[in-house]
Chains A and B, each alone.
Chain A
């Protein structure tokens, strides 16, 4: 019965000099449950954007139901039956739950200003059915913005289903949900009619193995493997790229001697859109050590980094101490806290040397006296890759070079505390090795480093201590030596979802 619904023909996407997705071909039959997995920066979301039409491919063709759709707008693709969810539930907060669903039910290109009563009744019935499908009937009159996070995700799925898509694209549907909500979500997706084709991106592997019949693995924008779930679990390449990162390339030599605590976080709570992401987290980082945070997407790693960096507000009761004094969110650079944010966030209108000049000026202002004094010349010695790129703009550099620039910008602030949010995201292995050397060197100079990561191999290569975040709590904290023990291994695997033991058949 397998007629082809979606065919991707050598599609790729580049941003300036950065390739987010190398040419990729995939054929997805009608009714498939196709999962796309891979570490952060693998190009999964880019791929979903390309299929939905929110991004145009740099090269290649997309064919839906033997019709080329490469040049169609997202709305035109929606007309052809493409429905999608977003990483953060995309619902209209200011409208009620029922009104949100009603948006999806439309006659094509009709404003229905002249509604007939029959039309209205038909729409009401379909709204009720869609809400029933996900179990939101009781909340039909509630404002979407007042729903808890997990319910908003269900609402988004109800909205998309009400449009009756033939191809359903789900972007990280389990992120931020608790186990009960994930199993409810799984049931909803399982109950979809067989002719609806599902393409799913998720980090939660039990969910993926539970739902998907075919899995594609991407890493650093490149296709690693596509196959049945059994085949993927046993594929050596896949294990190397994604699962089997349990053996670190190098083990960190433990640092000796007592070290003063630089960062002391007490009772940190924070959230987005009313949904709690972090709940009373305690954490410390000592001078000259690297503390890595591991966890799934949505576990709260980035939120924690952003709160410490002053980019995201903490809730009342949170205390963040730097060398024993309160860290004020608006003056983190003054306190010599430097950030390498997720996605780098370089200034597109500034050249490399302008980035360095600006950071160096701030470093000279706030970083007097103690600590490793770094100027632009030292940084260029440390990160020679930047030396002959001084006049380039970020868009003209590769992902690895951009990451080095983001690190250079942070180090020029002469930090006491360096925060790194997913620095290995989307980078090739040899660049990650360089990154390991750089971060180890920084810690050896006495800087306290807090690192959020998904790449376990990298985290274990650089960290002295590792904490695992799960649903807003720290599940455990251990030194890398302790982590080598089998029981710790098993616990880690369970929390990070790399184990397949929890899979329901």
Chain B
């Protein structure tokens, strides 16, 4: 059962561009990426769009559909009403390259700035022993497929280009949280650097990152807020500071 769907697709490059209307067939059960492919094959051979797995596992087809940051492969056509015009634009937090493809290199630069995992120097491969409950928190964050929708939705950089230099964004806050909660990581100043170098304090926990995450990672509740609390432990809480000076307890801070 085919139906027609009206799309308003943004086409252009870094200097200019505009929304263009197309009407295309949509088959039952299809997702937005399918109809974009049909547009590409039948009407706009050179329409640029990124995609890979088409199963919500690689995080390539990030774009904004009716204004919401989404994966095109996870947005079913049936969720739109008959006759509705669906607006499709590239991610609006990043520079556009062409059509629906944006330059997401910002994220790879930020990834480079977070010190890598460092195991204890005397740990030999195969000797690590970790309990499931100790790895579960970090495992949640390692579900991240790096679609960068959270980065796109985050108003700190979406609405303030100038913050990009001092703010790592939700994707990298979960990376920092992952490492800070990793049972084997020996780097102990991740809380301080999260606040001082990666801009954790810029986050005002308005939760858009969590709302748009296709992996349903509880970015705000499980990573950002716990990290903010850990930062308070080492930077703002006078009592904990005193406690740590007196007792020097390991494994807690």
Same complex origin of A and B: no
- Using a CB–CB distance below 8 Å, which chain A residues touch chain B? none
